[in-house]
Structures are given as structure tokens and as C-alpha cells.
């Protein structure tokens, strides 16, 4: 399986909007509304020129299967946030998400040379929380009943990893990716 991250392009917008509005993706997002074509285009126009974010299409064997991004890039404090999703439930559990996490960690710490990578995850998304922890992310906090979805209030789990923690994890995760045939 060949997984890469490539920059999002205008041609990707219809499928990305379809992914983002699909129930198997939107259930883990912080918003609930259906994203209109106009709203989606405004988002794309903003991210194209926003130096505080970077958005990629996750490609598996040359087919787009999801999205990854970094955002709130803060050079002064040397940190950013990130998120990703694999759109097709049938592709989950095959190591794609883990390899994307590996690629993003390398980008943030090896290319951007940042000090910290953060993420925010709905507390019921235990699969994502477990993957982050397996890469060395630490729970840094919990925003109790912070987000309302489906008529219920949910906690948001705050996770982060520091450069020095990634330096310990990097060889371990590289070997893990090799053993899974991803490298």
C-alpha cells in the first residue's frame, strides 16, 4: 500500500465536500451542519493563502481517500494543531491513519522544526485518541461538555506531543511503519 500526502487542489473540492458531509466523517467533526458548496469554496479560497495552515489529500495507491491538515500554525510559540480523516469506513484499520500521523509528525518536527504538535478530539472518538497516544501524544486536558452534537454535550480531549518526545518516538515509529510495510 502506497500512502502519500499531496497538496489539496481545486479539482478535489467536490469529493472533499462529499467526504466531509458523509455521516462516517461528520460524526467526528466539531460542526454538525451540512457544508454547502458556497461555504466549502470560501474555505478553500481562505486556506490557499493562509500561512497558518496546510491541507493535504491522503492518497492510497494513487486514489484520494481522506484529508489531513495542520492549522493554527504559530511560529512565535513554535506549535500547531492537526487533524485528519480517512473517509471510507472500509479503509479504516488498515494502517493508513497511522502512516498519515507518522508523515505529519515528520513534517511538523523535521521540516517545520516546531516545538509542539497539538490536537483536539471528541472524547467518544476513542480510536483516534488511542492512535495519538500510540505515537507519544499526552493528554493535556479535557474540556468538559464542550461541544454539542446530536443534542448531547461532549467532552473534547486535548492532546499534545513535544519535539523531545517525538525524538524518542521517531525511531520506534519508523520501525513500526517498516514492519507494517508502509516504508
The answer to whether the CB of 161 falls within 8 A of the CB of 105 is yes
- pLDDT tops 90 at residue 91: no
Handedness of CA 64, 4, 45, 88 (dihedral sign): positive
Q: What integer pLDDT is reported at residue 57 of this predicted model?
A: 98
- What are the structural domains of the chain? 3-179 (3.40.630.30)
Q: What angle do CA 5, 147, 55 make, to 5 degrees?
A: 15
> 4: which residues sit within 8 A by CB, 6+ positions away?
58, 59, 103
Handedness of CA 57, 86, 12, 21 (dihedral sign): negative
- CB count within 10 Å of CB 151 equals 6
Antiparallel, parallel or unpaired: β 116-122 and 54-60: unpaired
Q: What integer pLDDT is reported at residue 64 of this predicted model?
A: 96
Q: What integer pLDDT is reported at residue 37 of this predicted model?
A: 97
> 140: which residues sit within 8 A by CB, 6+ positions away?
118, 158, 159, 160
Confidence of residue 4 (pLDDT cuts 50, 70, 90): very high
Confidence of residue 90 (pLDDT cuts 50, 70, 90): confident
The answer to whether the CB of 117 falls within 8 A of the CB of 103 is no
Of all residues in the chain, the percent with pLDDT exceeding 70 is 100
Confidence of residue 44 (pLDDT cuts 50, 70, 90): very high
What is the chain's mean pLDDT, rounded? 96
Amino acid at each position: 500500500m502506497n500512502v502519500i500526502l499531496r497538496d489539496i487542489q481545486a479539482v478535489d473540492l467536490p469529493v472533499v465536500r462529499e467526504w466531509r458531509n458523509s455521516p462516517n466523517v461528520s460524526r467526528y467533526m466539531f460542526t454538525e451542519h451540512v457544508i454547502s458548496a458556497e461555504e466549502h469554496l470560501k474555505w478553500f479560497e481562505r486556506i490557499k493563502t493562509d500561512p497558518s495552515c496546510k491541507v493535504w489529500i491522503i492518497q492510497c495507491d494513487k486514489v484520494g481517500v481522506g484529508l489531513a491538515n495542520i492549522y493554527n500554525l504559530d511560529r512565535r510559540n513554535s506549535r500547531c494543531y492537526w487533524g485528519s480523516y480517512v473517509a471510507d469506513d472500509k479503509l479504516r484499520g488498515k494502517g493508513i491513519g497511522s502512516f498519515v500521523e507518522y508523515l505529519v509528525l515528520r513534517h511538523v518536527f523535521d521540516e517545520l522544526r516546531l516545538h509542539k504538535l497539538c490536537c483536539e478530539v471528541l472524547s467518544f472518538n476513542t480510536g483516534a485518541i488511542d492512535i495519538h497516544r500510540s505515537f507519544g501524544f499526552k493528554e493535556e486536558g479535557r474540556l468538559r461538555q464542550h461541544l454539542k452534537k446530536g443534542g448531547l454535550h461532549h467532552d473534547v480531549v486535548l492532546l499534545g506531543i513535544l519535539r523531545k518526545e517525538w525524538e524518542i518516538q521517531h525511531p520506534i515509529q519508523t520501525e513500526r511503519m517498516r514492519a507494517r510495510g508502509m516504508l
